[in-house]
């Protein structure tokens, strides 16, 4: 019988969709990767995303600070409640991924009872630490402890801020390689160039290192605790010339 047509193996069919699908998949992967990168930036202005240190539900990433005779620590209504101790109650971060410079710390706090500091924040400053005291020494002294051995009540960062009980206040701390700045409700209350200065916390606050909060004979509450890296522009703008 005579046969007609091509002999030998049949040619492999050309699958346009297969090649197009591979290209599309590659493009989609690139888009997703770009999108993931964008999620690491704040949509409002290209700022690095914040690292949430308290989710409003539990104390994961925190431990009760090892003070003598502290009050209770609990989560209630989306806030960390530090009950009055004799004299200090606090929490200390157990995280190992906290920045030491070029970062911003944000948190909200309120005084529930008492007449002293209700959320003094101890935080890293390069190889050392400082404490941003809020309402110390009788309820109104706000500033940084310690600079060249001088407490917030004695150095140039000392300010008098009136705090009302059971009122939420927003606190912000920016740390760069030269300067620390602090705000209360978006009003700057401290700015110091710490180059060639001796910085360190009071001995009572060392248990809060590397990052922690404490009260003194006072009940306090904390929420919305976050930290994020600064942009190069923010680092530059944070600098305070030495006086």
Per-residue pLDDT of 91-117, as tens digits, reads: 999 999 999 999 999 999 999 999 999
- How does pLDDT run across 27-50, given as a tens digit for each residue? 444 434 444 433 344 545 678 999
Q: What is the pTM of this model?
A: 0.81
> What three-state secondary structure class fits 142?
strand
* C-alpha–C-alpha distance, residues 219 and 207, integer Å: 19
* pLDDT higher than 90, residue 218: yes
Per-residue pLDDT band for 241 (boundaries 50, 70, 90) equals: confident
* C-alpha–C-alpha distance, residues 221 and 166, integer Å: 9
Whether 104 contacts 211, CB under 8 Å: no
pLDDT of residue 47: 84
Which one has a higher pLDDT value, 15 or 220?
220
Q: Which two tokens stand for residue 108?
A: 């909200």
* C-alpha–C-alpha distance, residues 169 and 105, integer Å: 14
CATH says 50-238 is which class? mainly beta
Residue 208 backbone phi and psi in degrees, to 5 = -85, -5
Range 140-162 average pLDDT: 96
pLDDT of residue 44: 53
* pLDDT higher than 90, residue 231: yes
Which one has a higher pLDDT value, 199 or 20?
199
Percent of the chain with pLDDT strictly greater than 90: 79
Please name the residues in contact with 16: beta carbons below 8 A apart, sequence gap of 6 or more: none
Range 82-86 average pLDDT: 97
Domain residue ranges of the chain, discontinuous segments joined by +: 16-44, 50-238
Whether 238 contacts 176, CB under 8 Å: yes
Give the number of other Cβ atoms within 10 Å of residue 198's Cβ.
Answer: 11
List Cα–Cα distances, 140 to 82, 145, 158, 199, 224, in angstroms: 19, 15, 10, 22, 23
List Cα–Cα distances, 102 to 99, 179, 210, 232, in angstroms: 8, 9, 15, 9
* pLDDT higher than 80, residue 242: no
pLDDT of residue 46: 79
Whether 220 contacts 82, CB under 8 Å: yes
* Average confidence score pLDDT of the chain: 87
Q: CA 4, 5, 9: angle at the middle one, nearest 5? A: 130
């Amino acid at each position: 019988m005579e046969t007609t047509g091509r002999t030998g193996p049949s040619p492999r069919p050309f699958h346009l969709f297969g090649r197009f699908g591979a290209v599309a998949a590659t493009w989609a992967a690139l888009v997703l990767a770009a999108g993931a990168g964008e999620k690491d930036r704040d949509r409002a202005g290209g700022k690095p995303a914040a690292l949430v240190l308290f989710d409003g539900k539990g104390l994961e990433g925190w431990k009760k600070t090892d003070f003598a005779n502290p009050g209770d620590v609990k989560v209630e209504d989306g806030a960390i409640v530090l009950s009055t101790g004799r004299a200090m109650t606090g929490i200390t971060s157990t995280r190992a991924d906290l920045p030491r410079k070029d970062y911003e710390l944000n948190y909200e706090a309120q005084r529930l009872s008492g007449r002293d500091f209700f959320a003094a924040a101890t935080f890293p400053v390069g190889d050392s630490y400082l404490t941003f005291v809020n309402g110390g020494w009788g309820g109104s002294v706000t500033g940084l402890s310690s600079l060249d051995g001088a407490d917030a009540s004695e150095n140039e960062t000392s300010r008098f801020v009136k705090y009302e009980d059971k009122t939420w206040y927003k606190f912000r701390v920016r740390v760069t390689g030269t300067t620390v700045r602090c705000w209360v409700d978006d009003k700057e209350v401290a700015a110091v160039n710490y180059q060639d200065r001796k910085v360190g916390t009071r001995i009572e606050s060392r248990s809060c290192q590397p990052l922690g909060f404490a009260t003194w004979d006072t009940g306090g509450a904390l929420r919305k605790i976050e930290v994020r890296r600064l942009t190069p522009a923010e680092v530059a703008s944070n600098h305070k010339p030495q006086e």
